[in-house]
Amino acid sequence: MLNQLLRSTFDRIGARVQVRNAVTPPSFRPFAAPVDGFPLLDVLHDRRGEYFDIRFLRGAPPADLLTIDVRPESRHLLLLARSAGLGRQETTKLKFLCGHDERHWFVASVPANATTVRSAMEALQPEIVRRSVVENRVRTRDRLRRRNPGFVRQGEWFFVPRPDLSVDERRVLRYEPLSRVSGSKPHVVEFCYRTGGETVHVHSLFAPSGIHDSAFRNLRPECRTGPGWRVMQRVAAVYAKGKVRHSDHSTVNLGIWHEVALNTESTTASGTKVVFLD
């Protein structure tokens, strides 16, 4: 019955869904959001194209899955997962926005107080984006567009205009990657300028979120001297100008400097642990 209801709901937004049991969680993927007692949600690909994969772990307490809002016109839906979990007295709720953005399907965990697709999309906007929308008097109907006077969005990244920013041209970098974590497909910025932050050593296998120099020096020599290490800045204030490219999204062109901000998914209870690396 659950499979039929979910298939019917996802069909309304033009998507396929697979619900199945699994013995162990999959390897790390950007969309996976494992929380004790809850299913894993992901977007996978087969010969027919992309589809949503909902995977229940065997031995975990069953979770209820309910669709609380469906918007066929924008190809989005809001999914609620409820579970008592292991040893919990109170029911825990997680919410996921499932939808289509430009060329691909996506899953994003959103705050539990989101009750509609629109409120879920608004909740993914970081505070500096919400402030910019108000300051630039963006009309309500335009606040979720990928481009408006308050921001430009490409996937999970927002670019907020900073027309008065003064930069040291000697510190402007060319064709810099923006990544949530090392190993994720980066968005490449034509001109990049950053201030503050901390220098870390990053490796897709050993330190995807980055480690400080002292921890790096304490690694085994064969690990420390192996290939794949990069020195990057973590949680710096980053500004972008020019073309921003990504294979999954249309290229955006920023005529002036814009401050870069990541969406709020990493702050939710089910959000993947991500950091801002550039």
Lowest mean pLDDT: which of 16-30, 61-75, 94-108, 242-256? Answer: 16-30
**155: number of Cβ within 10 Å:** 19
E strand or H helix that includes residue 25: none
Counting other chains too, the contacts that 216-220 makes at CB distance below 8 Å and 24 or more residues apart are none
Give yes or no for residue 121 having a pLDDT over 70. yes
Range picked from 22-26, 33-37, 158-162, 228-232 for highest mean pLDDT: 158-162
- The tokens for 95 are 């919410």
Res 37: pLDDT: 58
> pTM value?
0.77
Pull the structure tokens for residue 109.
């965990």
The average confidence (pLDDT) of the chain is 85
For the cut 70, the answer to whether the pLDDT of residue 9 exceeds it is: yes
Q: How is residue 42 written in tokens?
A: 């992901």
User: What pLDDT does 87 receive?
Assistant: 52
Q: For the segment 211-242, what is each residue's pLDDT rounded down to a tens digit?
A: 888 898 898 888 888 888 988 777 678 999 99
Residue 145 Cα distances to 30, 53, 70, 126, 149, angstroms: 23, 27, 18, 15, 10
Residue type, 93: K
* Residues contacting residue 232 through CB under 8 Å, at least 6 positions apart: 182, 199, 200, 202, 210, 277, 278
